[in-house]
Amino acid sequence: MPRDDLLGERPARQSDPKVNGGRMAFAFLMLAQLIASLDNQLVATALPTIVGDLGQAEHFSWLVTVYVLAQCAVMPISGKLGDLIGRKRVMITSLLVFSVGAVFCAVSWSMSSLIMARLVQGLGTGGILVSVFAVNADLFEPGRRARFQSYLSFVFVFGSFVGPTFGGYLTAAAGWRSIFLVTLPLAAVSILGFLKCLPRHVSGRHPVIDFAGAIAIALTVTILVIWTDSARVFGSFSAPESLFLALAAGLGLVLSALIERKAPEPVLPPGLLRQRNFSLLCVATLCSGAISLGLVTYLAYFLQMALGLSPAHSGLFFIALTVGVSAGALLSGQLMTRGWHFADPLRLSLLLGVAVLLGFSALPQHASMTLISAVFISQGVATGLGMNAVVLGAQATARPQDVGVATGAISLVRTIGAAFGIAIYGTIIALGLADMQQVLSTDISAVTPTMLAGLSEAVRNDLLQHYREAFASLFRCAALIAVCGFVASCLIRKTKR
């Protein structure tokens, strides 16, 4: 008999009055999700133009880093505030912060001012991303929630797909400053929509804000994310600066735990973290973030430097990836709507991820376009299957009053997983490049995809072979991470409320 609840229960069939009343609010949720997904992709396309205009290319990486750090720091705090004072206030405030940051980005006069403005915008984006899924949990019961969340995932993928093209067009037609202004009308419409349509959630709890815990967690997460990139910044994870960051992150975790244990309304309730299913879900989510969000950064690099494709041709395969993610997200939502436990699509996601990553590692240099497309679609399906499952799983395992906290925590864990994955993969490629440099006379660091096409056939094939070997190690490492996540997901118990 089919199950109709995310925890495996079969609830009574009855009408849900919140669904009909929440459809209009859900439309504005989709718009808010589109704003958050568009922003990062719009900016990514314009980064070279921005650096060329403002200068200070040595600070280029901080444009991305501070944005991610701000999101990580604010996610658990936004979730907790939503539980205490209501999602409506947090969502509207996040949209306002995002809009203020966008205006300051558009009028930035230097790279330093733009970095600070992106930090403000990242705070708003982090609040939006957490609030979108938390509001969805308020609007719809678990049995219907998965289907609506799959629509949110589709919007996120759609924004990620159209963002680079739209950003490139805007940058060429109206200048890079216009990319920060295009989301402002959408944000204004969202704010007005939420003011009118989103019901005010009243928790009935006295809003005691855990400022000490919020600051401790934000600082710890910031240090932890910076540490994941310390091998690139400081040369290795054994460098004194990297070791200092690791020690500071460890002390921050201990301090945060002590503060949260004594706080009347902790930002991350210790009781939630002690739950077996939630802890295992966090491990699986960390691994899922590393092999999905973290790996995307390297796929274009792989296509161009290991398979020898041009930038234009490699970009076409991301259409296949997007199709796969959309299909996987919609399938996951439908499966959970029909009663599958949230752990089931998560396990499918990680298991399929193992097979696909091993497939990536075995791709030959002259693989057919059909074969590469099939692998990219499969990778997208694996990613999409897990997107909804981890958020819905966190909400299902948490108490009703901690839904926002759980949503923020699992979003944070996924982002940290992506940061860890990027750092690990970057180290593997760096080691592979060092080995190549000892074998080849060509300056590896100076070779670009365009230059690669101009090399002699012998040197080009030799270079492609070395890159394929380095990426094969990367994909095998990612497959091992997926295995760890799969094991953790298999240990999740299918309990009933």
Secondary structure (DSSP) of 151-190 = HHHHHHHHHHHHHHHHHHHHHHHH-TTHHHHTTHHHHHHH
Q: Which residue has the tokens 């694996």?
A: 382
Q: Over the chain, what is the mean pLDDT?
A: 80
Q: Which residue has the tokens 């953790």?
A: 488
The predicted structure's pLDDT at residue 9: 42
Q: Convert 150-185 to b/e letters by CB count within 10 Å (16 or more is b).
A: bbbbbbbbbbbbbbbebbbebbeeeebbbbbbbbee
Which span out of 348-352, 382-386, 398-402 was modeled with the highest average pLDDT? 348-352
The predicted structure's pLDDT at residue 382: 93
In sequence order, the 6+-apart residues with CB closer than 8 A to the CB of 86 are 200, 201, 202, 203
* Per-residue model confidence as pLDDT tens digits over 81-92: 887 788 888 899
Round to whole Å and give the CA distance between 282 and 273: 9
The predicted structure's pLDDT at residue 11: 40
Instruction: State the pLDDT confidence band at 375, using cuts at 50, 70 and 90.
Output: very high
Task: Name the percent of the chain lying above pLDDT 90.
Answer: 20
Round to whole Å and give the CA distance between 140 and 20: 10
* Per-residue model confidence as pLDDT tens digits over 207-219: 667 778 878 887 8
Q: Angle 359-468-452 (CA atoms, 0-180°, nearest 5)?
A: 135
pLDDT(21) > 70: no
The predicted structure's pLDDT at residue 482: 95
In the chain, DSSP finds a helix count (H) and a strand count (E) of 19, 0
Length of the chain: 497
Backbone CA torsion sign across 477, 483, 486, 491: negative
Round to whole Å and give the CA distance between 284 and 276: 12
C-alpha closest to that of 303 among 371, 351, 350: 371
User: In terms of pLDDT, which residue wins out, 321 or 438?
Assistant: 321
User: In terms of pLDDT, which residue wins out, 472 or 302?
Assistant: 472
User: In terms of pLDDT, which residue wins out, 454 or 391?
Assistant: 391
Asked if 19-206 and 269-497 have one fold, the answer is yes
Which span out of 20-24, 67-71, 352-356, 396-400 was modeled with the highest average pLDDT? 352-356
Q: Convert 411-447 to b/e letters by CB count within 10 Å (16 or more is b).
A: bbbbbbbbbbbbbbbbbbbeebbeebeeeeebebeeb
Q: Angle 90-133-117 (CA atoms, 0-180°, nearest 5)?
A: 50
User: In terms of pLDDT, which residue wins out, 10 or 446?
Assistant: 446
Instruction: State the pLDDT confidence band at 10, using cuts at 50, 70 and 90.
Output: very low
Round to whole Å and give the CA distance between 15 and 292: 37
For the residues 161-190, what does the mean pLDDT come to? 83
The predicted structure's pLDDT at residue 441: 59
pLDDT(224) > 90: no
Residue 229 vs residues 215, 220, 234, 238, 430: alpha-carbon distances, Å: 22, 15, 9, 12, 13
The CATH fold assigned to 269-497 is: Growth Hormone; Chain: A; (1.20.1250)
The predicted structure's pLDDT at residue 477: 94
User: In terms of pLDDT, which residue wins out, 206 or 97?
Assistant: 97
pLDDT(47) > 70: no
pLDDT(17) > 70: no
Query: Coil, helix or strand for 11?
Result: coil
User: In terms of pLDDT, which residue wins out, 426 or 187?
Assistant: 187
pLDDT(475) > 80: yes
The predicted structure's pLDDT at residue 2: 36
* Per-residue model confidence as pLDDT tens digits over 284-296: 999 998 898 778 7
The predicted structure's pLDDT at residue 1: 33
User: In terms of pLDDT, which residue wins out, 424 or 22?
Assistant: 424
Domain ranges of the chain: 19-206, 211-263, 269-497
The predicted structure's pLDDT at residue 415: 80
pTM of the model: 0.76
* CATH number for the segment(s) 19-206: 1.20.1250.20
pLDDT(178) > 60: yes
User: In terms of pLDDT, which residue wins out, 364 or 10?
Assistant: 364
pLDDT(147) > 90: no
The predicted structure's pLDDT at residue 333: 81
